[in-house]
Amino acid sequence: MERMSHRRALTLAVGVIAFAMLTTVVGIANGAPVDFLVTDLVMGLTFVVCGLAAAWLRPISPAGPMLLACGGLWFAGSYAPTGHPILFPLGFAFEGYYDLVLAALLLILSSRAQRLQPLWLIRALGASMAARSLGRLLLLDPEPNFAAFESIEIVSNFAIAVFAALVGVVALRRLLRSGPVLRRVRWLIVVAGGAAMAARAFDSLEYGWSTATGDLLLTIADPGGAIFGWAMFGARTLVPIAFLFATLRLRSAPGPLGPLSAGLERPDGPGTVGDALRTALGDPSLVVLRPADGVAWTAEDGAPAALPGPSDGRGVTMVGPKDRASAALVHDPALLEQPELLAAVVRVLRLALENERLESELREQLQAVTESRQRIVTAAEEERRRLERDLHDGAQQRLIGVMLALQQARSTADEGAAPKSLREQLDAAARETTEAIHELRELARGIHPAILEDEGLEAAVTALARRVGIPVDVGMTLDGRLPRLVESTAYFTIAEALTNTQRHARASHATVRVVHAGASLELEVIDDGEGGAAAERGSGLRGLGDRVMALGGRFEVVSDAAHGTRLRATIPTK
């Protein structure tokens, strides 16, 4: 639909106003009733003022130029009461053509696609008016043919009444069957247009009836009759007033941005972006399409979709530049009459979609970091196991071999009556070797205790508690074996906590609780020591926290001075 510029609208309005002034001056000069001229001028200028406002506020709507055209046609018919020998026949022949423009406007605004439908109805109404105009122009002057004039007047006016009534019925029927957007935006205009069409139908029916019978269709005594006549005459002005009122109401309404923002703030809820838009804009037919590649689109359920064409009767609003739009809104075309609202919604939606994209990228990066940390922890655990096996199968076995060789040498020295000093040296070497083997076993057990691998977490923690220099209460509720990485993480967390308790806290008692609850392992180590421990100040606790969180768990240390330390960890088991 072509946009009407403000300059063109203003020029057209000035032209109509000049024509109105000329009509009024001619009417005064020819003795037309002043009350008629004043009332007629006010009613006609209503079209001009409202049409100019419509063109100014809604430049893409056809209402502005069509209402201005109605104003010009209004004053063309006003020459009939002047009595001027030339202007009177013209005014009489062309009176009421503003109703044809109003009928076209009413059909356009009541159509979802804002097209002139059905076109045959406007053509029939226009043909009936044209036939009446020809009869009034050709059959009354210069040689009147009253019989033919009356026949055409009766038939054309009855036809005008029928077609005008049909226009009103079609428009009101569309309103009742339309969606909430069309009703919200245009109901006032359509109802006013229906009233205008009813007035046109009544006027034409009365013209035809009075011509055929010589009597009025409806007789009302004055002043009621005069008031009724002016009310029917002025019913047409309801259309421009309704359009202006509806436009101002839409512009001053608070709009749906609050509900829309609230809906978009709940991305994890049961609804979607489309649900938030449909609720906020009151358009259940609205669909959000996302770009799949350079040319294709997908619907909200991921199915392939296509943008509607100009003839599909749908409105399309792009979110972002058309060549790289982040979404497309397919909606009721009536929403196009609220460009400021759509622009505001698009701005909010663009920010929401950008946040959604950033959040998606952030989740992907976080997932990648988590998986990377898990791989690092797993690799470290495997390296720990490999080192423990190497110590057990390599260095430890070599030391055992050396110890056996020393014992054999000691036996040989006894049999050969070797010097005492040599036997003492061999005994000392054997003791050192035995001590080295013991320390190596302790080192291997610290790297990865064999009991943890063989018997599980409960046996390993129980054995660990016995080696701590203070009493330790152990309470464990486990449901079978856990994944190896979970068991080793839990074990070394407890071991580091008990080591800190023994070395730094000066505690007299400690408690270890481990519970396998659902999909997580909950562990807690509590002591009655001096407190003051903090994960951020100690590399050991900080390393434990990193290891637990690398598995997607939670780690917390609460340590108040003189109230002991409480270490809590939650490790996912699935």
- pLDDT reported for residue 270: 42
- Inter-residue contact 413 to 421 (CB < 8 Å): no
pLDDT of residue 374: 65
* 500 half-sphere exposure, CB direction, 13 A CA radius: 29
Cα angle 432-434-437, degrees, rounded to a multiple of 5: 110
β-pairing verdict for 472-477 and 510-517:
parallel
The sheet with strand 472-477 has its strands ordered as 472-477, 510-517, 520-527, 565-572, 554-559
Summarised one tens digit per residue, pLDDT across range 90-103 is: 878 888 899 999 99
Q: How far apart are CA 501 and CA 507, in angstroms?
A: 6
Distance of alpha carbon 289 from alpha carbon 307, whole angstroms: 8
Q: Is 265 helix (H, G, I), strand (E, B) or coil?
A: coil
Report residues of the chain scoring pLDDT below 70: 1-4, 80-85, 250-272, 294, 337, 368-398, 410, 414-417, 437-448, 534-540, 562
Q: Which amino acid is at 150?
A: E
pLDDT at 332: 81
Contacts of 147 (CB under 8 A, 6+ apart): none
pLDDT score at 269: 44
Rounded CA separation 25/30 (Å):
9
Pick the closest to residue 67 from 181, 192, 249, 227 (CA basis).
Answer: 192
For residue 501, which of 540, 468, 534 has the smallest C-alpha distance?
A: 468
Question: Cβ distance 107 to 126 under 8 Å?
Answer: no
Count of beta carbons in the 10 Å neighbourhood of residue 538: 16
User: SS3 letters for 430-456?
Assistant: HHHHHHHHHHHHHHHHHHCCHHHHHHC
The correct CATH number of 455-572 out of 3.60.15.10, 3.30.565.10, 3.30.450.40, 3.30.70.260 is 3.30.565.10
Cβ-count burial of 371 within 10 angstroms (0-12 exposed, 13-18 middle, 19+ buried)? exposed
Q: Residue 361: how many CB atoms within 10 A of its CB?
A: 10
Strand 315-319: give its sheet, edge to edge: 304-305, 297-298, 287-291, 327-331, 315-319
**For residues 337 and 187, what is the distance between their CA atoms, to the nearest angstrom?**
13
Angstrom distance (rounded) from CA 131 to CA 125:
10
pLDDT in tens, 247-266: 777 665 555 555 565 555 55
**CB neighbours (10 Å) of residue 3?**
10
SS (H, E, C) 310-336: HHHCCEEEEECCHHHCCEEEEECHHHH
Closest CA to 37 of 48, 26, 46: 26
Residue carrying the six token digits 């007789």? 219
- From the number of C-beta atoms within 10 Å of its C-beta (0-12, 13-18, 19+), residue 480 rates as exposed
Q: Sort residue 343 into left (φ over 0), alpha (ψ -120 to 50) or beta.
A: alpha
